[in-house]
């Protein structure tokens, strides 16, 4: 999922990531209207929920351990659903709590978020009965830390909010289960290092795997069971069903290091369903500017392939950056495609080595090009790069609702009306 104008539902994924890997979505909980039913929270209930979060905020560091302590003591079997190491899980819970405060008055995005979250939770083995247990323990946790500030009205507001979320998740998961598996086994058919700590990994799934170029996929490895990370396919769906990923082994990153240094052809990973909205909007006819850095080139490359497959004729301007020329992985394919398709133009920049003639810093090239004010903008790469590119394009006149990016970064795009200058 990506964000557009609003702090979308996708904020619940990991916006900050200590491992610099993509991580699974957190537990649900925001308040939302149910699918066409009566569970809209009142303004008073929203205020109560937000006030209660303010009260528990000083205890935010202790909250996850308490919650899971309650959950595992009341429902010991729930422990089997989680990985042995609970550190990631702790982060997810806190983030989800903070998310509630942001999104509690945005039913449209919340329903969508909950539905995606419910579908995505199928890979954890989540069952309907688990939702009630989690809700009960969540409320017990909030009540514990709120102390005397916890009232019956607050408990009612949280119960209604949580019930709505759980129902939306559960309904979406049930509908999804009727259509496809919860997980796909995917055998590694190709594994190639293309730089220090970098690998291109191609898998083939045991059953057809539907996705659109630009989306991301959660992956579990045999070395770290129950820990899932997100990676983006670097290709649009292929006739032979193979999917290629670009992985950088980051310091302390368990999954990324296993994938780069341990995995080999024949190993089997598991994939959850594809998620994300960083796909070409079929209703838009605007030209497209894409900025990609490092392994973030993967979904952009897939997006371009998808456009070619679908016969999209919108002009696409790609700006691709990496530390070294070697790490501009996939650039050759993109350049090849740009020779085949008149609508595609690719510019590359290298930041950490003597740049080949014509190259320079990615964002300088972007700034010198344009204007971009009539384009849709797709960003993928390290957070600071995306933030800088977002600011640059925002100042150049691209409004926030025309930015497409995965939900791991918060963009801070300036108001184009206030700052747009001629030519940008």
Ligand X SMILES: NC(=O)C1=CN([C@@H]2O[C@H](COP(=O)(O)OP(=O)(O)OC[C@H]3O[C@@H](n4cnc5c(N)ncnc54)[C@H](O)[C@@H]3O)[C@@H](O)[C@H]2O)C=CC1
Of 256, 297, 305, the C-alpha closest to 385 is 297
Site string for ligand X, 392-421 (x = CB under 6 A): --------------x---------------
Q: Work out how close the CB of 419 gets to ligand X at its nearest, in angstroms, rounded to a whole number.
A: 19
Query: Which one of 24, 321, 330, 394 is in contact with ligand X (CB under 6 A)?
Result: 321
Query: Which one of 263, 351, 377, 402 is in contact with ligand X (CB under 6 A)?
Result: 351
Q: Work out how close the CB of 13 gets to ligand X at its nearest, in angstroms, rounded to a whole number.
A: 11
* Lookup: tokens for 313: 């004729």
Q: Work out how close the CB of 228 gets to ligand X at its nearest, in angstroms, rounded to a whole number.
A: 14
- Specify the 3-state DSSP secondary structure of 254: helix
Q: Taking CB under 6 A as the rule, does residue 363 contact ligand X?
A: yes
**Spatial separation of the C-alpha atoms in residues 144 and 137, rounded to whole Å:** 10
Contact 260, 197 (CB under 8 A): yes
Query: Which one of 4, 180, 315, 323 is in contact with ligand X (CB under 6 A)?
Result: 323
# chain residues binding ligand X, by CB under 6 A: 28
Q: Taking CB under 6 A as the rule, does residue 231 contact ligand X?
A: yes
Contact 234, 297 (CB under 8 A): yes
Closest to ligand X by CB, 169 or 278: 278
* Lookup: tokens for 388: 């800088």
Q: Using CB under 6 A, which of the segments 30-38, 136-144, 319-327, 413-421 binds ligand X?
A: 319-327
Instruction: Indicate the residue whose CB is closest to ligand X.
Output: 294
**Spatial separation of the C-alpha atoms in residues 11 and 26, rounded to whole Å:** 10
Q: Using CB under 6 A, which of the segments 159-167, 240-248, 304-312, 396-404 binds ligand X?
A: 240-248
Q: Work out how close the CB of 54 gets to ligand X at its nearest, in angstroms, rounded to a whole number.
A: 31
Query: Which one of 298, 331, 334, 411 is in contact with ligand X (CB under 6 A)?
Result: 298
Q: Taking CB under 6 A as the rule, does residue 299 contact ligand X?
A: yes
Q: Using CB under 6 A, which of the segments 31-39, 146-154, 178-186, 321-329 binds ligand X?
A: 321-329
**Spatial separation of the C-alpha atoms in residues 107 and 33, rounded to whole Å:** 6
Residues 21-60 that bind ligand X (CB under 6 A): 22
Query: Which one of 1, 164, 165, 322 is in contact with ligand X (CB under 6 A)?
Result: 322
Q: What crossing angle do the helices spanning 152-177 and 107-121 adopt, rounded to 10°? A: 60
- Specify the 3-state DSSP secondary structure of 279: coil
* Lookup: tokens for 387: 């933030």
Closest to ligand X by CB, 120 or 406: 406
Closest to ligand X by CB, 126 or 232: 232
Query: Which one of 15, 40, 388, 414 is in contact with ligand X (CB under 6 A)?
Result: 388
Closest to ligand X by CB, 112 or 246: 246
Q: Taking CB under 6 A as the rule, does residue 380 contact ligand X?
A: yes
Phi–psi pair at 82, nearest 5 degrees: -110, 155
Contacts of 199 (CB under 8 A, 6+ apart): 191, 192, 193, 246, 247, 249, 259, 260, 263
Distances (CA, A) of 253 to 172, 194, 228, 274: 31, 18, 12, 22
Query: Which one of 88, 385, 392, 413 is in contact with ligand X (CB under 6 A)?
Result: 385
Query: Which one of 4, 7, 15, 20 is in contact with ligand X (CB under 6 A)?
Result: 20
Degrees, nearest 5: CA angle 302-10-138? 140
**Spatial separation of the C-alpha atoms in residues 332 and 386, rounded to whole Å:** 23
Closest to ligand X by CB, 3 or 22: 22
Q: Is 410 exposed, middle or buried (0-12, 13-18, 19+ CB in 10 A)?
A: middle
Contact 328, 381 (CB under 8 A): no
Query: Which one of 295, 306, 378, 402 is in contact with ligand X (CB under 6 A)?
Result: 295
The DSSP-derived string for 2-15 is ---SS--GGGGS-S
Residue 42: DSSP 8-state: P
User: Which residues contact ligand X by CB under 6 A?
Assistant: 20, 22, 231-232, 245-248, 293-296, 298-299, 321-323, 349, 351, 362-363, 380-382, 384-385, 388, 406
């Amino acid at each position: 999922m990506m964000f557009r104008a609003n702090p979308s539902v996708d904020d619940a994924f990991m916006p900050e990531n200590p491992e610099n890997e993509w991580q699974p979505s957190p537990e649900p909980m925001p308040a939302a209207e149910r699918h066409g039913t009566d569970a809209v929270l009142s303004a008073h209930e929203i205020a109560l929920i937000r006030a209660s979060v303010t009260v528990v905020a000083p205890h935010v560091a202790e909250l996850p351990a308490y919650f899971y302590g309650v959950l595992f003591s009341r429902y010991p079997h729930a422990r089997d659903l989680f990985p042995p190491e609970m550190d990631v899980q702790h982060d997810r819970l806190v983030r989800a709590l903070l998310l509630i405060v942001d999104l509690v008055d945005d039913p449209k995005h919340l329903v969508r978020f909950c539905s995606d979250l419910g579908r995505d939770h199928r890979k954890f083995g989540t069952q309907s009965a688990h939702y009630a247990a989690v809700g009960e323990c969540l409320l017990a946790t909030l009540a514990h830390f709120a102390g005397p500030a916890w009232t019956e009205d607050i408990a009612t507001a949280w119960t209604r909010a949580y019930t709505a979320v759980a129902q939306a998740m559960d309904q979406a998961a049930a509908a999804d289960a009727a259509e496809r598996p919860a997980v796909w086994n995917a055998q590694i058919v190709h594994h190639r290092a293309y730089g220090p700590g970098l690998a291109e990994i191609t898998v083939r799934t045991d059953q057809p795997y539907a996705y659109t170029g630009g989306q991301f996929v959660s992956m579990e490895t045999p070395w770290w069971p129950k820990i899932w990370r997100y990676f983006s396919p670097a290709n649009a769906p292929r006739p032979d069903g193979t999917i290629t990923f670009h992985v950088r082994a980051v310091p302390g990153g368990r999954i990324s290091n296993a994938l780069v240094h341990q995995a080999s052809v024949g190993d089997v990973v598991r994939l959850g369903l594809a998620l994300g909205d960083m796909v070409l909007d079929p209703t838009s006819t605007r030209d497209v500017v894409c900025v990609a850095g490092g392994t973030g080139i993967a979904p952009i490359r897939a997006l371009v392939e998808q456009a070619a497959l679908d016969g999209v004729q919108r002009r696409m301007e790609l700006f691709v950056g990496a530390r070294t020329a070697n790490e501009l992985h996939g650039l050759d394919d993109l350049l090849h495609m740009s020779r085949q398709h008149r609508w595609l133009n690719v510019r590359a920049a290298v930041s950490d080595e003597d740049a080949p003639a014509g190259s320079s810093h990615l964002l300088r090239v972007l700034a010198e090009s344009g204007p971009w004010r009539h384009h849709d903008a797709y960003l993928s790469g390290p957070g600071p790069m995306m933030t800088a590119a977002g600011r640059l394009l925002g100042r150049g006149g691209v409004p926030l609702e025309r930015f497409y990016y995965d939900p791991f970064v918060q963009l801070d795009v300036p108001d184009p009306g206030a700052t747009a200058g001629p030519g940008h």
